[in-house]
Structure 1
Amino acid sequence: MSAPTLALAPDTTAGTRTTSDRLELLQTLIAGPTFDPVLRGDVIRVPHDHPVYGWLCGVPRCERIRDVRRDYCCGHAAQWLQFQCEGRDIVAFLKEAVPLKPRGGRYLGNCLFWPDVPAYRRCATCTPGPW
């Protein structure tokens, strides 16, 4: 003899929910005050100094792209490490750091995401990426 089967309660909202309801909910969330305005457009262009998705070196006027896990390019990351070993602070580092022009590595053409930005292969001293 088998155990009795319990019937599930019927979902009363299943017939009333539509795809447009989900789209309206998504649009409302995107329009909310906590959603990053950079991500709202049809074409997303992240500024180089964005606090979360920024891609340029943190040294003022440096034109090199930051290392994957750091706030600075390869050259400035090494300089910052040296400053730390000497017991010096970030203020002194940023005052003394010389902005660098983009170079170092093999030119690969322009970036696929930002066509006006030149793309270079990473320098040998940088931390290897996850790829």
Structure 2
Amino acid sequence: MTVTTLLPQPDTRTGRDRLEVLTALISAPSFDPLFRPDIIKVPPNHPVYRWNCLSADCDRSTMGHGDLCSSHEMLWRDHRDRGGTRAEFLRTAPSVGPGDGVEQRTCGICPERPARHLTLELCQYHEFRWYNHRGRRDGDADFDSWLLDQHPLPGFHSCRVQVCPEVADSPLGLCFRHERRYRRHGRPGGATLPSQWGTRYGRRGLVAPVSYEDEHAFERWCASAVAVLRPAQVNLRGLHPLLQAEIKWGMFAYTQKAHGRWELVT
């Protein structure tokens, strides 16, 4: 869940008083610390804000108002149509791997770089090296043995989008999803990397230069771009402090009474 818009609010005495009260309540020992950060990360199987699939060990988000991810929902319907029961399906449902919406993971070799291949947990550079290594051996290669010879590379720092908590995927300074969104928006400011920068610079341990048609336009895009949707996150960065406090208190207060499940994936 991403919260990104706020209508202008006058900084009235009433608003300041309300913020002071909410700040005190949020700082109290009885307040669940889960809801204090500006980026609230909801763990799997949360009793109120459950976002993950009901199938065991599945970290994909649920589909709509159901309790299964889209892949397991399709498998369940096929199982049901063949006369199977829900309990039997949940007990025997196969793994379908990580989904696109899961939280960014780090490369198992480069702790400062994001994993592009989520199953192998490899950054883009080491994913290329692994498949190249395996291809030279006609697919007969041991992954664990190959890992022993790999070395970590430095990362690209945090994503330059101001509300984004993720790390950059390339020297451009954007995480994978914001880089993809930047291209869809027509590349404001014309920020580009040299062609084949990974081969010409990255694999030689050099820093690839970034060129701009208008660097200020690129910076403005980074300042205004919205956060990417992560089902397990409520991103409050960039909001007015009063609105941040109201959402934090509201989410906590909802957990303190009898209720149904509140969907985060909206």
After TM superposition, the score normalised by the length of structure 2 is 0.28
Structure showing greater Rg: 1
Name whichever structure is richer in helix by fraction. Answer: 2
